[in-house]
Amino acid sequence: MTSVGFGRDSTGGFSEALVYGANNGARISSNSWGYDVPDEFDQDELEAIDYAVEQGVIVVFAAGNDDSDDCYYPGCYDKVVAVAAVDNEGVRADFSNYGDWVDIAAPGVDIWSTVSVDDGYFNPYSGSSMACPHVAGLLALGMALNPVQSVNETIGCLMSTATNIDGKNTEYEMQLGVGMIDALEFVTCIRTAPVPTITPIPTLSTMPTPTPTKTLTSSSTGAKAAAEMPVARTAAEKQVPLQEEEPTPQVLHAQAAG
């Protein structure tokens, strides 16, 4: 779903947008926005992130485009997946933020995106805002392939299959998260992950209702007859106990058994 929190160059509404998504079935929240002043944040927004995470939503944020290792919220909040931008070879984009708070990197240089009809439908853009949707989209693919996998397991596959790019970014080792996303390896991890089995609830078997019988007893000798005859009860008989009659000598009477 699309939940617009605010327009360009304005603030406000993010908290409500994220909470709305969490309450209406969203499982992933992709956020290509952030504060442009280090360490600045709105507590309501962090609480909205907390709420979404508690509801099982994976919240993904662009790391920012300030070429800095300062903490830029909400990307540097520890409850979100922070995404830095790299080129297609895994080299850090010269504008991308970095730091030990970044979780992972994704392509964010010259990425084709939709624009208005007046602008020609498509245009290439660069920024961590373009890298963030790569991660969110990949996570969505994983959930589609294995919808019963837990959030932690899905994120685990994302992180464990990333390609290490420290060798291409020697000045930023351990500053671009675990590496660049690898879609093929991620999908392989998702497909090979054990799928939890759901134990069906046992159903009560229908036991056959015993057929009522009558036993013939001699009133003179007290001996029972050798055979029992099935007797069908009427609805009235099932509800009203049978009354015993005084036996007459030398006459066989039927007496309900049980």
- In order along its 258 residues, the chain shows pLDDT tens digits of 655 555 555 556 899 999 999 999 999 999 999 999 999 999 999 999 999 999 999 999 999 999 999 999 999 999 999 999 999 999 999 999 999 999 999 999 999 999 888 888 999 999 999 999 999 999 999 999 999 999 999 999 999 999 999 999 999 999 999 999 999 999 999 998 765 555 566 555 555 555 555 554 544 445 555 444 454 454 444 444 444 445 544 443 444 444
Q: Is 2 inside a domain boundary? A: no
Query: What angle is formed at CA 109 by the lines to CA 77 and CA 4, rounded to 5 degrees?
Result: 50
Cα 255 to chain centroid distance, Å, stands at 64
Say if residues 106 and 132 touch (Cβ distance below 8 Å): yes
- Parent domain of 39: 14-192
In-domain check, residue 247: yes
Q: Is 6 helix (H, G, I), strand (E, B) or coil?
A: coil
- Measured in whole angstroms, the distance separating CA 160 from the mean position of its chain's CA atoms is 19
Confidence (pLDDT) at 208? 58
Looking at the structure, do residues 172 and 231 belong to the same domain, yes or no?
no
Tally the residues of the chain.
Answer: 258
Pair (49, 125) in one structural domain:
yes
Residues 172 and 237 in one domain: no
Same domain, 118 and 243: no
In a domain, 161, yes or no: yes
Answer yes or no: are the C-beta atoms of 224 and 216 closer than 8 Å: yes
Residue 105 phi/psi, 5° resolution? -125, 155
Same domain, 21 and 147: yes
Cα–Cα distance measured from residue 25 to residue 42, given in angstroms and rounded to the nearest whole number? 25
Per-residue pLDDT, 253? 41
* Domain count for the chain: 2
Do 137 and 72 meet the contact criterion of CB atoms below 8 Å apart?
no
Task: Specify if 7 maps to a domain.
Answer: no
Looking at the structure, tell me whether residues 21 and 145 fall in a common domain: yes
Residue 44 domain-assigned (yes or no): yes
In a domain, 204, yes or no: no
Q: What is the pLDDT, as a whole number, of residue 102?
A: 99
Q: Are residues 174 and 220 in the same domain?
A: no
Residues 121 and 222 in one domain: no
- 9 within some domain: no
Write down the pLDDT at residue 118.
Answer: 84
- What pLDDT, on a 0 to 100 scale, did the predictor assign at position 98? 99
Same domain flag for 118 and 218: no
Residue 198 counted as domain residue: no
Say whether both 244 and 179 belong to one domain. no
If asked whether residues 161 and 250 sit together in one domain, one would say no
Looking up residue 18, the CATH number of its domain turns out to be: 3.40.50.200
